[in-house]
Structure 1
Amino acid sequence: MKKIVVILLISIQGFSQNFDYKNYGNLLAKYVSSNGNVNYELLQKNAAELNQVIIGFESNYPTKSWAKEEILAYYINAYNVYTLKKVVDNYPTKSIKNINNAWDDKFIVLGKKKVSLSYIEHGILRKMNEPRIHFAINCASFSCPQLANVPYLPATLDTQLDKAARNFINDGSKNSITTDEIKISEIFNWFSSDFKTTSSDIIDYINKYAAVKVEANAKVRYLKYNWSLNE
């Protein structure tokens, strides 16, 4: 029994040995509220703290030796922290969409490569066959899933992603769900191939997490996306 416990502890600890999210966690706790709103004005005044966190991400990025959970956690957190960086560097702004080339600017340094937010989302995360990433990455906008004020960690990633999916799908400001009709985020439309393609597939996916169970023949409508800054 003792050997099993020791092996389990080593396995759990091994997930987090490649990256220390302490500084990022402190940043989130200080500048992001429990409902995901960001104090961009204060964060901009203390941009050195954000830049220090960025240095940590730049100096220790995933290699082939990292476990899948470690890679997923890193790039989810990276997407979110670099989105903060993009907004802070262009603040004040009413929307990230007002920032020129926000998603395609190659301002993120990964070793010898410079990549964009779009590359992290579409070139890495979406290729990892984990649709729940869409509830974890935050595009600095009101209609986005809220920015968690704690880091995603490899050892707790599955639980955190389930929570993010449940919170987003049952958030009445993002989706409206009844038994015979769902009015849902454009995220389910934009990335339908990640959730499957037909309406019934979307309903099946929604029903995994929704507090209200939706009928298979329910109407599916998509809500207009609100790109106002999440502050």
Structure 2
Amino acid sequence: MKKTITLLVLLFISVQSYSQTDVFNALLKTYVDTEGNIDYKGLRKNRALLDIYLNHLENQIPGRNWSQNKAKAFWMNAYNAYTIKLILDSYPLKKITDIKRKGRNAWKIPFAVVGKETYSLDYIEHKILRRWHNDPRVHVGINAASKSGPRFPNYAFTAKNLNSALELLMKNFINDSSKNKITITKIEVSKMFEWYKGDFTEKSTLIEYINKYSTVKVNDNAEVTFLEYDWHLNGLQ
């Protein structure tokens, strides 16, 4: 009951002020806990904020005068919002990898409408965020709705908070012992660092990148292995 009342208040405030980032921020604050777990069941019953935000995305595209941070924040929010939509449209399910439509997996389905154009999650990630923004921290900002992934942020990205948010998300992810196991002589890290190794090693070695954020500093010649990835949904139990 309390969550429903909170949602209605946030909905009223957000619609009145018509700050679309605030709309998505209100949704995340209400349905994502501090550990990044999402209340998908609650969201299915109260999709109003998500629908408002998705309607905004359908009619909005970053302008040429937007800063890089503003555009990056926009596309990362869009990716996360459409990931939530994809889960809700397929719920209940155990893993995002269970989603299949016309032979396509969750990331290759063209369903995300932004500025009247239809994209897949793969396109947003690889053709827009990775190609045009060249920032490995993007991988902790966009979310695959899985247990082994980075913590789903319970706030929307903005041009103002983007750098500090991505720095904190990367630091928290690397130092999360349930996602990465780091010692001086050996590191067992997320498959994410293997899948996108080129992004993390463009300007340094992988160990150097890990050491930038890790509280435990790793030797340069430390053994590196990659952990199995748990695709189970990051939903509240």
- Shorter-chain TM-score above 0.5: yes
In structure 2, the residue matched to 1:68 is 68
Q: Of residues 206, 214, 219 in structure 2, which corresponds to 1:215?
A: 219
Distance 1:197 1:189 in 2: 13
Tell me which stretches of 4 or more aligned residues in structure 1 moved more than 4 Å.
Answer: none
Q: How much has 1:194 moved relative to structure 2?
A: 0.4
Q: Which runs of 5+ in 1 are unaligned?
A: 1-18
Q: Structure 2 counterpart of 1:122, which letter?
A: H
Q: Deviations for 1:99-124, whole angstroms, at most 9, x for unmatched residues?
A: 11211111111223211100010011
Distance 2:85 2:61 in 1: 17
Distance 2:115 2:53 in 1: 16
In structure 2, the residue matched to 1:229 is 233
Over the aligned positions, Cα root-mean-square deviation in angstroms equals: 1.4
In structure 2, the residue matched to 1:132 is 137
Partner-residue secondary structure (3-state), 2:81: helix
Distance 2:160 2:29 in 1: 20
Distance 1:167 1:57 in 2: 29
Q: Structure 1 counterpart of 2:73, which letter?
A: A
Q: How many residues align?
A: 212
Q: Between the two proteins, what is the percent identity of the paired residues?
A: 43
In structure 2, the residue matched to 1:115 is 119
Distance 1:33 1:142 in 2: 14
Q: How much has 1:63 moved relative to structure 2?
A: 2.2
Partner-residue secondary structure (3-state), 2:177: coil
In structure 2, the residue matched to 1:167 is 172
In structure 2, the residue matched to 1:13 is none
Distance 2:163 2:136 in 1: 12
Partner-residue secondary structure (3-state), 2:143: coil
Distance 2:215 2:154 in 1: 24
Q: Structure 1 counterpart of 2:23, which letter?
A: N
Distance 1:96 1:104 in 2: 12
Q: Structure 2 counterpart of 1:43, which letter?
A: L
Q: How much has 1:45 moved relative to structure 2?
A: 1.1
| Contact kept in structure 1, 2:58 and 2:116, CA below 8 Å | no
Distance 1:163 1:221 in 2: 24
Report the TM-score, using the length of structure 2 for normalisation: 0.86
Q: Report the more deviating stretch, 61-70 or 163-172.
A: 61-70
Q: How much has 1:56 moved relative to structure 2?
A: 1.7
Q: How much has 1:215 moved relative to structure 2?
A: 0.2
Q: Which runs of 5+ in 2 are unaligned?
A: 1-18
Distance 1:49 1:112 in 2: 20
Check if 1:206 corresponds to 2:179.
Answer: no
In structure 1, the residue matched to 2:14 is none
In structure 2, the residue matched to 1:192 is 197
Check if 1:148 corresponds to 2:153.
Answer: yes
Distance 1:156 1:48 in 2: 25
Distance 1:197 1:66 in 2: 26
